[in-house]
Amino acid sequence: DAGVIQSPRHEVTEMGQEVTLRCKPISGHNSLFWYRQTMMRGLELLIYFNNNVPIDDSGMPEDRFSAKMPNASFSTLKIQPSEPRDSAVYFCASSPDLNYGYTFGSGTRLTVV
């Protein structure tokens, strides 16, 4: 199993540009999570899905952030327009179901200049 696959690994973009982060969860995992990690705030849950349905998006910072899971094998996190304060490492994680340990992807390091 290739694990949770995220792309791109690194993204540098200019303020105001649209950014799309991608995630492929482990096959058969029903739950998918998007986290953001910064030094100041640690690991923050942005949104999570169960069986492709968003369960809780209360962690999404503002309307500039949106996430979709069109099918069981793909999810995107979009930031439009991006701002320098969005710079962070964004992790996608999946688990067989809720209340199981998570498998994290390698993350996308986003830098907005």
Partner 1 sequence: GQQVMQIPQYQHVQEGEDFTTYCNSSTTLSNIQWYKQRPGGHPVFLIQLVKSGEVKKQKRLTFQFGEAKKNSSLHITATQTTDVGTYFCAVEEAGSNYKLTFGKGTLLTVNP
Given the rule CB under 8 A, which residues bind partner 1? Answer: 31, 33, 35, 42-43, 45, 48, 55-56, 91, 93, 98-107
We find the least distance from the C-beta atom of residue 15 to partner 1, in angstroms, to be 26
We find the least distance from the C-beta atom of residue 97 to partner 1, in angstroms, to be 9
We find the least distance from the C-beta atom of residue 31 to partner 1, in angstroms, to be 8
Instruction: Answer whether 70's CB lies under 8 Å from 53's CB.
Output: no
> Tokens at residue 32, please?
């998918």
C-alpha distances (whole Å) from 72 to each of 66, 68, 87 are: 18, 11, 28
